[in-house]
């Protein structure tokens, strides 16, 4: 695989782009489901997790998933995680 992959993919689409285990893809799908449950399609600006503890737990889980992804990917990949408030962390 050559070139950069810097786009957003649904969990079932990402395996077409990068080699990830079914277990990790399922964990990402569950995590994404938590985000989708808080998304208001009718009024997107009203979306989001209102409870600060929920937001912190979601971001901690997302960061751990990013770390797992980094461990599964070939060494030439760089993984970044962006929190709900827009802070980006490089992994690895």
Q: What's the pLDDT tens digit per position in 10-24? A: 777 888 888 899 999
For residue 76, give Cα distances in angstroms to 3, 4, 56, 67, 72: 10, 10, 30, 15, 11
pLDDT band at 1 (very low <50, low <70, confident <90, very high): very low
DSSP state of 76: T
The position carrying tokens 């998304």 is 39
Two structure tokens written together for 69:
């992804």
The position carrying tokens 């990830």 is 20
What tens digit of pLDDT does each residue of 31-78 get?
A: 999 988 988 888 877 778 888 899 899 999 999 999 999 999 998 888
Predicted TM-score of the model (pTM): 0.82
């Amino acid at each position: 695989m050559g070139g950069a992959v810097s786009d957003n993919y649904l969990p079932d689409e990402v395996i077409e782009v990068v080699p990830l285990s079914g277990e990790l893809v399922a964990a990402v799908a569950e995590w994404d489901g938590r985000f989708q449950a808080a998304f208001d399609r009718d009024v997107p600006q009203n979306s989001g997790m209102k409870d600060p503890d929920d937001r912190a737990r979601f971001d901690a889980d997302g960061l751990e998933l990013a770390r797992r992804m980094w461990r599964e990917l070939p060494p030439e990949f760089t993984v970044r995680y962006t929190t709900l408030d827009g802070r980006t962390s490089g992994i690895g």
